[in-house]
Amino acid sequence: MRKATAESSVASYAGRKIWITGHRGMLGSAMVRSLADENAELLLTSRAELDLTDRLAVLAWMEKNRPELIFHIGAKVGGIHANSTLPAEFLYENLAIQSNVIDGAHRFNVHKLVFVASNCTYPTNAAQPISEDALLTGPLDPNIRAYAVGKIAGIEMCRAYNKQFGTNFVAVVPPNLYGPGDNYHPQHSHVVAGILRRAHEAKHSGDAELVVWGDGTPRRELLHVDDLASAMKHVMQAPTTHDLYNIGCGHDLSIAEIAMTIADVVGFKGKVVYDSSKPNGTMRKLLDNKRILALGWKAKIGEKSGLSSAYQDFLDRYQTPQLRGYAQA
């Protein structure tokens, strides 16, 4: 725990130069939305303009553009399948990207940086709810170990730079995210997007059953992406005294409860059935959110309204070539 100082907080975003890495992704675009009315100068770099794995290019860009605050979101992300087949790419690219951005933030005197880690950084046998202190206390899920180790290195880099150079770099750990901008790929999506899509398709093809993976008993803590963006804004502004914050809503739901809520939102009237040939994965990973509550933030978007906004996003994008392509996959 560090002392809160004036340097660790940000009084206002107005007029500040803010770099959001990964602004085209689900969380990055939520971050852009959440900062739209702050009169800040948003610095946004597409992959074509700036390859974040290229150290010299990143340093040259930072020297020229001089961001004052950074939301470091850009990373190679993917589902369990991509993670288990491409572990080298996940580890190399994410280590390179975060080393370049975090070290650059120190070299160019960035006032504060917020880095997004992942709940897979915690050991699979961590006590529930999982506190920030559980980091590096046990074995990781072997399917996503390379990705998790990359994110752990990012958290540790924030800590190390704070310790050695007195920087203000803070990492946040979200639970399972959902919301506008999600990936609705039939096999590669996460639980909410996967079930939303199948519920929609089952409804429209008049199927009697909605198939849900696993046996319905694992529990997941869901967080709407706009809630995570608001938490990150809060962490950036608040006088943080820790270098790691869990951003949880404080409760989880069984997969069966999630499926029934989604069926309700979509208007699917048939039966929910379970495909036990698909893995349950981790049974529970509820985050301890005491630390972020003490900093004065709490989640505002309930599951019912959050899932409705996610479904609306799905409907808006369903006819796009991208999602039609997925339908044929």
The reply to whether 124 sits near ligand GDP by the rule CB under 6 A is no
Site residues for ligand GDP, window 196-225 (CB under 6 A)? 212-214, 218, 220
Closest-CA residue to 312 (of 228, 224, 252): 224
Sheet holding 112-116, edge to edge: 41-43, 17-21, 69-72, 112-116, 169-173, 244-246
Span near ligand GDP by CB under 6 A; candidates 163-171, 240-248, 276-284, 317-325: 276-284
| Among the listed residues 87, 129, 180, 194, the single contact to ligand GDP using CB under 6 A | 194
CB atoms within 10 A of CB 44: 15
Contact 306, 224 (CB under 8 A): yes
Please say which residue, 102 or 260, places its beta carbon nearer to ligand GDP: 260
The residue count for binding ligand GDP (CB under 6 A) is 17
Tokens of 171: 């990492």
Active site residues: 147
Please say which residue, 285 or 291, places its beta carbon nearer to ligand GDP: 285
The reply to whether 281 sits near ligand GDP by the rule CB under 6 A is yes
As a whole number of angstroms, the distance between CA 157 and CA 164 comes to 10
Site residues for ligand GDP, window 80-99 (CB under 6 A)? none
The reply to whether 179 sits near ligand GDP by the rule CB under 6 A is no
| Among the listed residues 96, 117, 172, 195, the single contact to ligand GDP using CB under 6 A | 195
In angstroms, what is the C-alpha Rg of the chain?
20
Amino acid at 249: C
Please say which residue, 220 or 291, places its beta carbon nearer to ligand GDP: 220
Site residues for ligand GDP, window 246-265 (CB under 6 A)? 255
Buried b or exposed e, range 9-21, using 16+ CB within 10 angstroms: ebeebeebbbbbb
Closest-CA residue to 177 (of 136, 138, 229): 229
Please say which residue, 104 or 175, places its beta carbon nearer to ligand GDP: 175
- Binding site residues, ligand GDP, CB under 6 A: 176, 189-191, 194-195, 212-214, 218, 220, 255, 278-282
